[in-house]
Amino acid sequence: MGNKRALCVFLARYSPHLNRIERLWKQIKHGWRKAQDYLSLVLLNQALSQILTGFGTTFTLDFSEPDLTFFLS
């Protein structure tokens, strides 16, 4: 079978940069939603519904690479 090696990498218990739902929520909060969406609960609900309905078509996120901005903030 040859010489095979494995690399073990320690991950902290809380690794939001590797968790897909955390990355999605970060993008919703800081990228796709607008400040005026918070003017009322109705507007916020409409904005979130529009984002979640359009996810994958209008709103896309590339999960193939880890989000390393976590380490920069």
The residue with greater pLDDT, 40 or 11, is 40
pLDDT digits (tens, 9 = 90+) for 31-68: 999 999 999 999 999 999 999 999 999 999 887 776 66
* pTM: predicted TM-score of the whole model, two decimal places: 0.64
Cα–Cα distance list, 23 to 30, 60, 68 (Å): 10, 12, 11
Pairwise CA distance, residues 51 & 28, whole Å? 8
Q: Where are the domains of the chain?
A: 20-68
